[in-house]
Amino acid sequence: MSAIIMSGAPVADAVLASVGVAVERLVKAGKTVGLGTILVGDDPPSVHYVARKHEVSERFGIGSVDVRIPATAKQEDLLQAVEQLNDDRAVDGFLIQNPVPPGFDYAEALARMDPAKDVDGLHPVNLGYLALGEPGHPRPNTPLGVQALLQYYGVPVEGRSVVIVGRGPTLGRPLALLLSLKEPGANAAVTVVHTGVKDWAEYTRRADIVVGAAGVPNMITPDVVAAGSCVVGGGLTWEGKKVLSDVDERCAEVAGWVTPRLGGVGVTTVAMLLRNTVAAAEVSLGPGSPPLP
């Protein structure tokens, strides 16, 4: 069996095309779009991720505000930066790049954000709206990217068995909420397992869709997935300068669909971030503004 490789590029291109159209429409309405980031320290993967986000945003006409805080600073400096972007009318949405160095409290800083500007969709208020199934609020980018991949490649989700390996607050938990909602592209039977679950592979072997979200390189191997299933690598780990997926590349020999080690979920995540940013800009125009694509 040769799996369909679920490249994120065409999915991201489609999302970003709509972002570009929306930005043009907003500009014609007299509204520029701005994305802010807060980076604490100089962790190489985080520096790379932030640079990538600004590179793509500027390509599509979205302004950038890049706030850098040294690792030697204090929590108060981080909180001050959050308040600065909360109050900056040129910034429609922003994020705090995580992880932050030891001595900083990411959760406290996240809670200080204006939920309407939380384009990562990770503020407790926005996760609460996700749990309630309430539309119109920011949702986490990586789960949205996974869902977009499944939809683009025609992977059946409704009523199917989805097993997510990993329970983290940025991917595993919100993805479980998202895919269980009674909405298009969701409405699945979702199970969340993790490395603390004995014989977790017994769950994945029976699943129609398996999502690696634990951040453990190559933990999803061909022997723990069903023939013809869909296998998505959501968790990524840096080993030096090499990025490793939770999904062993050999799964392509068994699965019906599989994401590549590079160019899968990560590409769609950035696209969803910009879509959330544009949506925040549209909301800031108030009621009666034209709908965005």
| 152 and 257 part of one domain | yes
Within a domain: 136: no
| 76 and 162 part of one domain | no
| 65 and 153 part of one domain | no
Within a domain: 11: no
| 177 and 235 part of one domain | yes
| 54 and 94 part of one domain | yes
pTM given for the model: 0.93
Report the domain count for the chain: 2
| 250 and 291 part of one domain | no
| 256 and 267 part of one domain | no
Q: What CATH number is associated with residue 221?
A: 3.40.50.720
Per-residue pLDDT of the chain (293 residues; tens, 9 = 90+): 589 999 999 999 999 999 999 999 999 989 999 999 999 999 888 999 999 999 999 999 999 999 999 999 999 999 999 999 999 999 999 999 999 999 999 999 999 999 999 999 999 999 999 999 999 999 999 999 999 999 999 999 999 999 999 999 999 999 999 999 999 999 999 999 998 999 999 999 999 999 999 999 999 999 999 999 999 999 988 877 788 899 999 999 999 999 998 899 999 999 999 999 999 999 877 655 544 44
| 104 and 170 part of one domain | no
Within a domain: 126: no
Within a domain: 48: yes
In three-state form (DSSP H/G/I as H, E/B as E, the rest C), the secondary structure along the chain is CCCEECCCHHHHHHHHHHHHHHHHHHHHCCCCCEEEEEEECCCHHHHHHHHHHHHHHHHCCCEEEEEEECCCCCHHHHHHHHHHHHHCCCCCEEEECCCCCCCCCHHHHHHHCCHHHECCCCCHHHHHHHHHCCCCCCCCHHHHHHHHHHHHCCCCCCCCEEEEECCCCCCHHHHHHHHHCCCCCCCCEEEEECCCCCCCHHHHCCCCEEEECCCCCCCECHHHCCCCCEEEECCEEEECCEEEECECHHHHHCCCEECCCCCCHHHHHHHHHHHHHHHHHHHHCCCCCCCCC
CB 130 within 8 A of CB 46: no
| 146 and 243 part of one domain | yes
| 1 and 105 part of one domain | yes
**Domain residue limits at 104:** 1-6+24-114+263-293
| 186 and 256 part of one domain | yes
